[in-house]
Amino acid sequence: MSSVAFENVIRVSELKEKLHKAKADVEAVHEQTQALRLKSRESIAQVKAFYAEAGELKKQRDTENGKVQEFKKKRLEAEQKAGKILTQLQALRGQLDGLPKAESPGRLKAELERLEWEQMTEAVSAKAEKELSRRIKELRGQMGPAEKLIGIFGQIRPLEEQLRAASAEVRIYRTELAKHAKASDARHEAMLKLYKKAQSLSKKIGENLKELDAKRALLDEERKEFILIQGQYRQTEESQRNAFRSEERTERDRMHVEKQAERNATKKKAALIAEKALERFRSGGKLTWEDLQAIQEAGLDTSNK
């Protein structure tokens, strides 16, 4: 093997090792790129899921806010209704405070009827008659305020019932209002957490995409390096094959020349032997079988000329 061929063998071996390394680098970067791409896709899908869930929570929050407004309006109406009833009650109770204290109208009426009956049916003295008349007049004077008191109480009782009912409505609406406000706050808070998660993940996706771009650029460089080394390897390998072929041809030509020279030398030697044998035959000597073969191979004439 020539020095050039030996150098080509070394060069091919080095390039082959370098090519394997370049291929491994390309595959490694490609795997990293694929992993980043998959991670980005999964993260984008997760962000979409976060936003979808947050959107659903927003709808639920808005529904709860609608309920809050509904029960706030009902509570306000019930409070206004209760306030009006309370104003009426306070006015009636104020009227009660301005009235003199009086017996129960029922008792007053019963006592008045008893005294009037006694005045009409029983014989009494003039003094007793006068006292009876005074007492009847007094009771009749008390009947007016008592009847007015009954009328006011008659108005107060249904108003108190209405106030209790209105107050119960206010409590119900306040409870519903608090319940839906709490539900709205809970959904709003959950929605904000999801938005925060989505934003945080979106930031990471941005970082991953930057890294992915860097990996793609690196992959392009590694591929270029691989293609360059592959071209050098193929070129050097072809050069090595050509060198081997050239050396083989040179060796074949050398061996052919050597063999041809060997054949020519053998043929020349045989011709000398044949000529000597022929001279001996012409001088009267005998020829051996080997002499005849040598003479025939040399193409000499055995006739005596």
User: What is the spatial distance between Cα 150 and Cα 111, in angstroms, rounded to a whole number?
Assistant: 17
* Residue 266 is assigned to a structural domain of this protein: no
User: What is the spatial distance between Cα 173 and Cα 201, in angstroms, rounded to a whole number?
Assistant: 41
* Residue 88 is assigned to a structural domain of this protein: yes
- Within the chain, how many helices (H) and strands (E) appear? 4, 0
User: What is the spatial distance between Cα 146 and Cα 109, in angstroms, rounded to a whole number?
Assistant: 10
Task: Specify the pLDDT at position 295.
Answer: 67
User: What is the spatial distance between Cα 45 and Cα 194, in angstroms, rounded to a whole number?
Assistant: 14
**Residue of 5, 49, 88, 16 whose CA lies nearest to 232:** 16
* Residue 154 is assigned to a structural domain of this protein: yes
* Residue 274 is assigned to a structural domain of this protein: no
Asked if 159 and 92 count as a contact pair (C-beta separation under 8 A), the reply is yes
Q: Rounded to whole angstroms, what are the CA distances from 260 to 60, 223, 264, 276, 294?
A: 105, 54, 6, 24, 19
Q: What residues contact 117, with CB distance under 8 A and at least 6 apart?
A: none
**Could you tell me the pTM of the whole model?**
0.51
Determine the distance from the C-alpha atom of residue 2 to the mean position of all C-alpha atoms in its chain, rounded to a whole number.
65
User: What is the spatial distance between Cα 54 and Cα 52, in angstroms, rounded to a whole number?
Assistant: 5
Indicate the DSSP class of residue 116. H
Q: Rounded to whole angstroms, what are the CA distances from 246 to 1, 130, 166, 252, 259?
A: 11, 170, 116, 10, 20
Indicate the DSSP class of residue 244. H
Per-residue pLDDT tens, the chain, 305 aa: give them: 455 555 656 766 776 777 777 778 778 877 888 887 888 888 889 999 989 999 999 999 999 999 999 999 999 999 999 999 999 988 888 776 655 555 555 666 776 677 677 667 766 677 777 776 777 676 666 666 666 777 777 788 898 899 999 999 999 999 999 999 999 999 999 999 999 999 998 888 888 888 878 877 877 888 888 788 788 777 877 777 777 777 788 888 888 888 888 877 877 777 787 777 777 777 777 767 776 776 676 666 655 54
Q: What CATH number is given to the structural domain containing 162?
A: 1.10.287
Task: Specify the pLDDT at position 101.
Answer: 58
* Residue 68 is assigned to a structural domain of this protein: yes
* Residue 214 is assigned to a structural domain of this protein: yes
Concatenating the DSSP letter of every residue in 88-103 gives HHHHHHHHHHHSPP--
* Residue 295 is assigned to a structural domain of this protein: no
* Residue 58 is assigned to a structural domain of this protein: yes
Asked if 47 and 205 count as a contact pair (C-beta separation under 8 A), the reply is yes
Asked if 194 and 54 count as a contact pair (C-beta separation under 8 A), the reply is yes
Asked if 25 and 224 count as a contact pair (C-beta separation under 8 A), the reply is no
Number of separate domains in the chain: 1
Tokens of 256: 């052919």
Asked if 12 and 240 count as a contact pair (C-beta separation under 8 A), the reply is yes
Range of the domain at 216: 3-251
Task: Specify the pLDDT at position 147.
Answer: 67
Q: Rounded to whole angstroms, what are the CA distances from 207 to 8, 78, 153, 193, 200?
A: 47, 57, 80, 21, 11
